[in-house]
Amino acid sequence: MPKQGEIDYVKKLDSAAIQHAQGKPFSDPACGQHLLNLGIVFSLLPAPPARVLDLGVGTGWTSALLARRGYDVVGVDIAPDMLDLAPVACDNLHFVATDYERLDYRDEFDAALFYDALHHAEDELEALAGAWRALKPGGICSTVEPGAGHAASAQETVARFGVTEKDMPPRAIMALAARIGFRACRVYARPEVHPVIAESGPVRGYLRNLARALLGSGRQTRHWLDNSHIVWMRK
What mean pLDDT do residues 204-217 have?
A: 54
CATH topology of domain 2-196+225-234: Rossmann fold (3.40.50)
- pLDDT above 60 (res 31): yes
Examine the pLDDT at 217 and tell me if it is beyond 70: no
- Spatial distance between the Cα atoms of 41 and 16, rounded to a whole number of angstroms: 29
For 53-105, the pLDDT digits (tens) are 999 999 999 999 999 999 999 999 999 999 999 999 999 999 999 999 999 99
| pTM, two decimal places | 0.88
Residue 205 has pLDDT above 80, yes or no: no
42 pLDDT above the threshold of 80: yes
The span from the CA of 170 to the CA of 88, in Å, is: 33
Say which DSSP state 196 is in: P
Question: How high does pLDDT run on average in the chain?
Answer: 89
170-178 long-range Cβ contacts below 8 angstroms, 24+ apart: 170/225, 170/226, 170/227, 170/229, 170/231, 171/225, 171/226, 172/124, 173/118, 173/128, 173/143, 173/145, 173/231, 173/233, 174/225, 174/231, 176/124, 176/125, 176/128, 177/128, 177/231, 177/233
**Nearest to residue 113, comparing CAs of 169, 172, 52, 67?**
52
- 223 band by pLDDT with thresholds 50, 70 and 90: low
Ranges assigned E (strand) in the chain: 51-55, 72-77, 93-97, 109-115, 135-144, 184-188, 230-234
User: Which SS3 state, helix, strand or coil, does residue 186 take?
Assistant: strand
